[in-house]
Amino acid sequence: MSEIEQVNLPYQASLLSFFSAVRDLPYPALLDSNHEHFPDTQYDIVVANPLARIHPRANSQPITWRTKPLYTLSETENPMSLMNELMTLICQEPWAKNAPKDLPFIGGLLGYYGYESGHFVEALPDTVKHDISLEPLSVGLYAWAVVTSHKTKTTQLIIAPWCDQEEAADIINRLTSACDDVLVKHDLHHANAFSLQTPFASNMTEAEYAQKFATVQDYIQSGDCYQVNLAQRFSSTYQGDTFTAYQTLRNVCPTPFSAYIGLSPQQSLLSHSPERFLLCDQGRVESKPIKGTVARGTTPEEDKANANWLLASTKDRAENLMIVDLLRNDLGRTCLTGSIKVPSLFALESYANVHHLVSTVEGRIDQADHAIRVFHQSFPGGSITGAPKIRAMEIIDELEPHERSAYCGSIAYFSANGQMDSSITIRTLVADHGNLHCWAGGGLVADSKCQEEYQETFTKVGKLTHTLEQDFLK
């Protein structure tokens, strides 16, 4: 096979059943737009069983092949450098150059970058406690993908030339045998297969948060920084199948960048993120940073008043603008000169528990393999660090007691046809050998008020933690 193969499947309003049909394979991932609530997010993607996995390894090339290596790569210990090189080779393939540009993913790289992957981009301190066994990043090279377009109401299996006929036949058989109602009901019927063992508890007290808040204010007043994102971690213990928990949270907390990634029987990511990090669509690069948050109201009148308050908030608009400027600078490293624009400032977006202020920053690139370079040079997203970015990250390392792991990193794909999309992994849970962690933070600026910022962290994460405690706590 010298070109991609497109196999038409019955249109799926969600890919939960197809994901259930393949998630026994290694490293399955579901990118889940929850499109009924967010019509502007038009694609869902399922992958599994990568040909290779890129992940940091001590003193060796950070790639593990399942099959005979497809490409000869230089010896490097930096996984981001290796992925840059790999995507250049992939995008130069004749079949990749000739592939349709309107498909989001035709095979390529997909996975997660933890916040600590920033150490592969910049020289940063590392004094936090590392008590989560997930790797700093894990990205697979996938040879097939199920892709749903909600705009055209089509679902296809996309098979890259890398995929052998035996595997392709197995995937087609799994998908054509899958039944939405039976599989989804089967998973939900066994909801007792997941249980929460303890309530969520923070890794800092209110007094400790206040002390850290005061330290940030001292840094701001002394001119070290303008904004620092300070987060606390909430942890519990669990038993059972985290995909059950994911489906429950998906229904209660619909978001446009939901995702479930299975890493092993004991490790998974459950992401319910509202925030896009970077999109590349036929050379156009877009980022949509979130800065500015207020809780939803309990009545329609209160909800509208809260939204209007946020739209008029001088503090939140200034906080948002700082990150817009930071992203303009980040994108300017790799996008074409003069292409950076800000078509939207301070737009209101509403979710189940909060209203957000969201801006849009755009740029352009001229080569397909540049998408991953834009991503790497902009990582991690400025909306979850602060400004200036490096100094803010140094302060985060000083003040937060534990690693962020997948939180404030990204879930991303880089397609062989040059397309790319990615989220900021906020509202994200990390399941690790019976421990379940989630985080919430906020950008602290000069006129922030400690009690308001502290409460905002609970507002952001409360829908996730309260739902799991209510439905699954024994």
Average confidence (pLDDT) over 158-163: 97
Decide if pLDDT at 39 tops 80.
no
Which CATH number is 253's domain given? 3.60.120.10
pLDDT by residue (tens digit) across 75-117?
999 999 999 999 999 999 999 999 999 999 999 999 999 999 9
Marked catalytic residue, from 93, 116, 135, 291:
291
Instruction: Name the average pLDDT for the chain.
Output: 93
Return the minimum-mean-pLDDT range out of 59-68, 181-190, 240-249, 439-448.
Answer: 181-190
Residues 183 and 54: their CA atoms lie apart, in Å, by 31
User: Nearest Cα to 16, choosing from 238, 266, 185, 241?
Assistant: 185
Structural domain span for residue 99: 5-472
Q: Name the pLDDT band for 223 (thresholds 50, 70, 90).
A: very high
DSSP 199-239: --EESS-HHHHHHHHHHHHHHHHTTS-SEEEEEEEEEEEEE
Q: What percent of the chain has pLDDT over 70?
A: 96
Decide if pLDDT at 35 tops 80.
no
Question: How many angstroms from the chain centroid is the CA of residue 271?
Answer: 7
Which residues lie across from 137 on neighbouring strands? 113
- When divided into structural domains, the chain yields a total of 1
CA atoms within 13 A of residue 113's CA, in its CB half-sphere: 28
Q: Name the pLDDT band for 2 (thresholds 50, 70, 90).
A: confident
Residues 189 and 399: their CA atoms lie apart, in Å, by 43
Marked catalytic residue, from 93, 116, 135, 275:
275
DSSP 8-state assignment for residue 192: G
How big, in percent rounded to 5, are the helix, strand and coil portions of the chain?
A: 35, 30, 35
Residues 428 and 449: their CA atoms lie apart, in Å, by 25
Decide if pLDDT at 191 tops 80.
no
> Is residue 389 annotated as a catalytic residue, yes or no?
no
> Is residue 349 annotated as a catalytic residue, yes or no?
no
pLDDT of residue 183: 45
